[in-house]
A and B are shown apart, each in its own frame.
Chain A
Amino acid sequence: MVIPAFNEEENIERVLQEIDSLRRARPRWRIVPIVVNDGSSDRTEEVLEKIAADYGARFISLPLNVGIGRAVQTGLKLAVRLRAQVVLQLDGDGQHPAEQIPVIVGPVLSGKTEVAVGSRYVAGAGGNVSTRLRQAGTWFFSRLIKLLVGISVQDVTSGFRAFSGDAAEFLSRCYPDDYPEVQAYVPLARRGFRISEHAVSMRPRTRGISSITPLKSVYYMIKVAFATSIDLIRPLPRRRGGPLER
C-alpha cells in the first residue's frame, strides 16, 4: 500500500487510522502501508516517526523533494522487495476513503485484472466529482489515452489504483516522472497489462491544499499531452516473465 505524502502532517494519521480499520475488517489480508514522505517541509516526517509503528506502517523519508512520480516509484520499489501480491496506490491527503480499497484490490487479487483504477466517473461512483475544470481536463486526457494506446479509462487522473505484483514490478522500473497518473497508462498499455476501472466515491480534501491550481491548467494540459505522447515512442523495459512469487 503505497501512500505518497508531501506536506500532509494533518492528513496522514487519519489515512493510517482508516487503513487500520480496514485491517480489522479484512483480517486475512496482510496490509503494509508504505508512506513515502517526499521531502516535506512541514512536520510530516516527525509525525511519521511518532506514529508509523503504532499503525504497523513503514515509511520512507526522502531527503529532497523528487515529485509525486518518483515518490510513488520509491514506494513501488519497496513493495516489490516485500513481494507484495497487490500494490495499492493511495493519496496521502485522505481523499480516498479506505473502505473503498477492497473495490479495487479485489479484482486484482482474484486475477481478473492487473491494474484496477478507482474512478469517480464511471456509473455507480459518487461523492466528490471535483470541479468542472478538472472534469474537462480529465475528459481531455481520457480521450488522449484512448487515442494513443486504445484503452479507455474515464478517470485518468485518479491516484487511487491497485496493481498486480507484476504490474508494480514493471512500473517500479519505468514509472513516469512528470505527470505519472496519466502517463503511466502508456507503458502499461504498451506492454499489454490488463486495465479496468471501478466506481468509487472520493471525498474532497478537508485540509491542506491540492497540488493542482486551475490557473495553470491549460498549460498543464499541454505539458501532459506532450509528455504522454513522447511516452508512446520511448524505449520501454520488458515485463518480466510470469507473476512474482505467490
Chain B
Amino acid sequence: MPPLPEYRFRIEFWAILGCIVLFIGLIELVRRNRLKERYSFLWFLTSGVLLVFTLKRSWLEDLARLVGVYYPPTALFLLLVFFMLLILIHYSTVISRLLDEKQAIVQNLGLLEARVRELEATSGARPSPAPDISSSAD
C-alpha cells in the first residue's frame, strides 16, 4: 500500500503553490495595467476559492460528498473547470460587446465622414461636384 498521507500532502503542496503563483501573477498584471481590475475579478475569485478549498480539507471533503466524487482532490479539479467555464463565458460576452461597439463606431465614423465630405462640397467656392480640393480651400 502506498503511503496515503504523503500523497495527500503532495497534492496540497502543489495546489497551494499554484494558487499563490496565480495570485501573485494576477496582482502583477493588474499593477502594471496589463489587466483591467474588472476583468481580473473572476480570476482572483478562482484562485481564492481554490486556495480555501485546498487549505480547508474538511470543506473539500464535504463538497466531494455533495457532488458524489470519491476522491476529494478531484472535486478541486471540478471546481477549477467550473470557474474556467465561467471565465470563458464572461470573455465571450466581453468580445461580443466589443464587436458591437466597434461596429457602431465604424458606422458612425462612415456616416460622419460622408457628412463632412458633403458639407465640404457644398460650402466650397462652387457647388459643382468637381473634386477641385486645392482651389476650394479658403
Min CB distance A59 to B, Å, is 7
Query: Of B106, B111, B118, B121, which contacts A66 at CB under 8 A?
Result: B106
Q: Does A64 contact B106, Cβ atoms closer than 8 Å?
A: yes
Min CB distance A175 to B, Å, is 11
Q: Is A42 an interface residue (CB 8 A)?
A: no
* Most chain A beta-carbon neighbours within 10 Å: one of B106, B118, B129: B106
Q: Is A49 an interface residue (CB 8 A)?
A: yes
Q: Collect the chain A residues with CB atoms within 8 Å of residue B114's CB.
A: 58-61, 78
Q: Is B102 an interface residue (CB 8 A)?
A: yes
Min CB distance B91 to A, Å, is 19
Query: Given A60-B113, A64-B102 in contact, is the A77-B107 Cβ separation under 8 Å?
Result: yes
Q: Collect the chain A residues with CB atoms within 8 Å of residue B130's CB.
A: 53
CA distance A60 to B118 in the complex (A): 11
Query: Of A50, A53, A61, A177, which contacts B110 at CB under 8 A?
Result: A61
Q: Collect the chain B residues with CB atoms within 8 Å of residue A39's CB.
A: 106
* Most chain B beta-carbon neighbours within 10 Å: one of A50, A67, A70: A70
Total CB contacts across the A-B interface at under 8 A: 45
CA distance A36 to B110 in the complex (A): 9
CA distance A44 to B132 in the complex (A): 20
Q: Is A63 an interface residue (CB 8 A)?
A: yes
Q: Does B131 contact A63, Cβ atoms closer than 8 Å?
A: no
CA distance A50 to B109 in the complex (A): 20
Q: Does B129 contact A60, Cβ atoms closer than 8 Å?
A: no
Min CB distance B119 to A, Å, is 12
Min CB distance A56 to B, Å, is 9
Q: Is B58 an interface residue (CB 8 A)?
A: no
Q: Is A62 an interface residue (CB 8 A)?
A: yes
Q: Collect the chain A residues with CB atoms within 8 Å of residue B103's CB.
A: 66-67, 70, 177
CA distance A53 to B103 in the complex (A): 27
Q: Does A77 contact B131, Cβ atoms closer than 8 Å?
A: no
Q: Is A74 an interface residue (CB 8 A)?
A: yes
Binary interface encoding of chain B residues 50-93 relative to chain A, with 1 for a CB under 8 A from any of its CBs, else 0: 00000000000000000000000000000000000000000000
Q: Collect the chain B residues with CB atoms within 8 Å of residue A62's CB.
A: 106-107, 109-110
Query: Given A53-B129, A177-B103 in contact, is the A63-B109 Cβ separation under 8 Å?
Result: yes
Q: Does B107 contact A66, Cβ atoms closer than 8 Å?
A: yes
Binary interface encoding of chain B residues 115-138 relative to chain A, with 1 for a CB under 8 A from any of its CBs, else 0: 000100100000001110000000
Q: Collect the chain A residues with CB atoms within 8 Å of residue B118's CB.
A: 58
CA distance A61 to B106 in the complex (A): 9
CB-nearest residue of chain B to A58: B114
Q: Does A49 contact B131, Cβ atoms closer than 8 Å?
A: yes
Q: Collect the chain B residues with CB atoms within 8 Å of residue A61's CB.
A: 110, 113-114
Q: Does B102 contact A74, Cβ atoms closer than 8 Å?
A: no
CA distance A60 to B129 in the complex (A): 16
Query: Of B107, B110, B113, B129, which contacts A54 at CB under 8 A?
Result: B129
Contact surface of A with B, Cβ cutoff 8 Å = 36, 39, 49-50, 53-54, 58-64, 66-67, 70, 73-74, 77-78, 177
6 contacting pairs across A/B (C-beta < 8 A): A49-B131, A53-B131, A58-B114, A60-B110, A66-B103, A74-B107
Contact surface of B with A, Cβ cutoff 8 Å = 102-103, 106-107, 109-111, 113-114, 118, 121, 129-131
